[in-house]
Amino acid sequence: MYIEKIKSPAELKQLNIEALKVVADETRQAVLNRVSKHGGHVGPNLGFVEATVALHYVFDTPKDKLVFDVSHQSYPHKVLTGRASGFLGNVDEMNAISGYSSPTECPEYDNFEVGHTSTSVSLATGLQKARDIKGTKENIIAVIGDGSLSGGEAFEGFDEASELGTGILIVVNDNEMSIAEPHGGIYKNLRDLRESNGQCNHNWFKAWGFEYKYLEEGNDVEKLIEVFRSVKDTNKPTVVHIQTEKGHGFTPAVENKEAWHYGMPFNKEDGSRPERPTTESYEQLLSDWLLKEMKQDKTLVAVTAGTPSAAGFTPEKRKEAGAQHVDVGIAEEQAVAMISGMAKGGLRPVWTVFSTFIQRTYDQIAQDLCINANPAVINVTWGGTASMNDITHICLFDIPMLCSIPGLIYLAPTTCEEYFAMLRWAILQDKKPIAIRIPSNGVHHTTETVDREYAYEAKYKVTQKGEKVAIIAAGSFYQKGENVARLLAEKGIKATLINPRYLNEVDRETLDSLKGGHDLVVTLEDGSKDGGFGERIAAYYGTSEMKVLVGGIKKDLYDRFDLQQLLSDNRLLDEQIVEDVIDILS
């Protein structure tokens, strides 16, 4: 095997074309070995094997700088830059290698930690400027997928690269797919370019001032080497547009590209996955609910931004929703501004977004939506600790972010029934933008009646009256609050338990009422506690006698954390909270 011996890409340069093809095959098998045992991005990596071999053969990394977009296609690069053990080795060796580009893991060959889309060209323009000012001569190469071109930052990066006017190579990896089908006007031009072998007159990249080359055979090592050689050391902004096949070399991934974008372990002989018990999911419940409601209300529109699965919108459900589903592409900023406009225009838009990806929309939420007070609804999903855990995909910051924006109500339901009641109310009201944090600790049901109407001012719900200690347990951590209350009861302390429902502001009346009969308030939130929900309550009690124990996750750069360890380090295991309460009370 070549790849077991290759310690650096420079060694590729000793090989002839036939040997390079073997390297590509071995790399593909190594990627398959990892994703089938460990899970991870399947299609994006399988389609980019040949391009990676060719890039490393032609260019001279680490002197030349390679910048990946999302970096979910960087597995072949890892195999060829001394990390093959993460693909061929045991589980521990696989765990040691992240699924994204990571300078912490490999400072020599990985230039940036990347996980959100559409950033590679912008990051590369920074390296380009640094090179130009220092007067050095290295190639700067940005890789970007066709799907990621729809993000605004990608446009800004292209704009800057053209303005700089010096050498930069942008490899557009066009596999005709985002996670799902891509959306946006640019895809018409990409299609025309593909169909005309790069020759059509209206060429988006050329119009922007780029030199342009097209390669239809983007999975052919030899042809890729030829085209990359022809642009090596260019002193102009240059695009090489390659057509690749997502999932190349693994039939199940080629046949169902959306399902094989990312996945859990599988049998690589036939692509089958171990049967998993079918449990209820908010994705399925939400999409079913929206589809049913849409039939009664033609103004209801479900919006997604490149991740239709966030709302459970499978290809079949997208088809069923028709014009009442809009996917704006990987363009979260566009989604926010557009739902504001839709609400203004008399529609009832509901945008569903993963917690980590809402981060790039602070200004659109503050300006386009909230200052305008348009009654659009945002569903934030997977917010919390039991969610994605790569450093670039942490879902802990939506509460501090959204709760710092004036004019936005951020609700935290604790059960399925409460969630849909809040969602219905948010959709039907016409005064304010409302965000709702879908619980991320599984689907819990309640037999208690839930409120149908919600006030615009925070109104907490006291669910159990007790004394000495009050637990205010928000959203996904409400069940943790129940557990802590039960454990305290076993120790003879009957705690007050509160479902705050509102994350964005304190309910002064309820907080004041606790001053009689309680010495301690415990707040629990499933997210970063710095700037979060509990700190606001602690600040409210500031000058009073009330003690406040704020329970949440300390702000930090977490990477691939273990959930139990994270909770334990932050003293958020049920027993630890009980211990701390007893300690403070005694």
Q: Which stretch binds ligand TPP (CB under 6 A): 142-150, 156-164, 219-227, 265-273?
A: 142-150
Identity (one letter) of the amino acid at 421? Answer: A
Min dist CB 568 to ligand TPP, Å, is: 29
Those residues with Cβ within 8 angstroms of residue 542's Cβ, 6 or more apart along the chain or in another chain:
none
Min dist CB 391 to ligand TPP, Å, is: 13
* Chosen residue from 117, 324, 379, 483 binding ligand TPP by CB under 6 A: 117
Tokens 């790069």 correspond to 198
Contact between residue 101 and residue 110 where contact means Cβ atoms under 8 Å apart: yes
Closest CA to 165 of 207, 130, 213, 211: 211
Q: Which stretch binds ligand TPP (CB under 6 A): 30-38, 54-62, 175-183, 537-545?
A: 175-183
Identity (one letter) of the amino acid at 390? Answer: D
* Full strand arrangement of the beta sheet holding 140-145: 65-67, 140-145, 168-174, 237-243, 211-215
Residue 183 or 529 having the CB closest to ligand TPP: 183
505 vs 499: CA distance, rounded Å:
14
Closest CA to 26 of 56, 57, 44, 5: 5
Residue 260 or 460 having the CB closest to ligand TPP: 260
Q: Which stretch binds ligand TPP (CB under 6 A): 67-75, 94-102, 402-410, 511-519?
A: 67-75
580 vs 456: CA distance, rounded Å:
34
Contact between residue 469 and residue 583 where contact means Cβ atoms under 8 Å apart: no
Min dist CB 35 to ligand TPP, Å, is: 13
Min dist CB 306 to ligand TPP, Å, is: 4
Residue window 484-523: x/- pattern of binding to ligand TPP, with contact defined by CB under 6 A: ----------------------------------------
Residue 231 or 335 having the CB closest to ligand TPP: 335
Residue 148 or 364 having the CB closest to ligand TPP: 148
* Chosen residue from 65, 83, 116, 325 binding ligand TPP by CB under 6 A: 116
Residue 397 or 502 having the CB closest to ligand TPP: 397
170 vs 55: CA distance, rounded Å:
12
Residue 154 or 472 having the CB closest to ligand TPP: 154
Min dist CB 246 to ligand TPP, Å, is: 5
Distances in whole angstroms, Cα of residue 451 to Cα of each of 185, 275, 421, 455? 43, 38, 7, 10
177 lines the binding site for ligand TPP (CB under 6 A): yes
* Chosen residue from 36, 74, 178, 340 binding ligand TPP by CB under 6 A: 178
- What part of residues 242-301 is at the interface with ligand TPP (CB under 6 A)? 246, 261
- What part of residues 179-198 is at the interface with ligand TPP (CB under 6 A)? 179
Contact between residue 69 and residue 330 where contact means Cβ atoms under 8 Å apart: no
Phi-psi region of 294 (alpha: psi -120 to 50; beta: other; left: phi over 0): alpha
Min dist CB 248 to ligand TPP, Å, is: 11
179 vs 309: CA distance, rounded Å:
9
* Full strand arrangement of the beta sheet holding 518-528: 461-464, 496-499, 468-473, 518-528, 547-553
Residue 220 or 333 having the CB closest to ligand TPP: 333
44 lines the binding site for ligand TPP (CB under 6 A): yes
147 lines the binding site for ligand TPP (CB under 6 A): yes
- Give me the residues paired with residue 145 across strands: 173
Residue 70 or 436 having the CB closest to ligand TPP: 70
Contact between residue 233 and residue 167 where contact means Cβ atoms under 8 Å apart: yes
516 vs 536: CA distance, rounded Å:
20
Number of residues that bind ligand TPP (CB under 6 A): 23
Min dist CB 574 to ligand TPP, Å, is: 33
Q: Which stretch binds ligand TPP (CB under 6 A): 140-148, 230-238, 274-282, 409-417?
A: 140-148
Residue 17, H or E segment? helix 17-38
483 lines the binding site for ligand TPP (CB under 6 A): no
139 lines the binding site for ligand TPP (CB under 6 A): no
- Give me the residues paired with residue 41 across strands: 262
114 vs 509: CA distance, rounded Å:
45
- What part of residues 332-391 is at the interface with ligand TPP (CB under 6 A)? 332, 357, 360
Q: What is the largest CA-CA distance in the chain?
A: 81
Min dist CB 359 to ligand TPP, Å, is: 8
Closest residue to ligand TPP using C-beta atoms: 145
Task: Dig out the tokens for 281 from the structure.
Answer: 């999911």
Binding site for ligand TPP (CB under 6 A): 44, 70, 72-73, 115-117, 145-148, 175, 177-179, 246, 261, 306-307, 330, 332, 357, 360
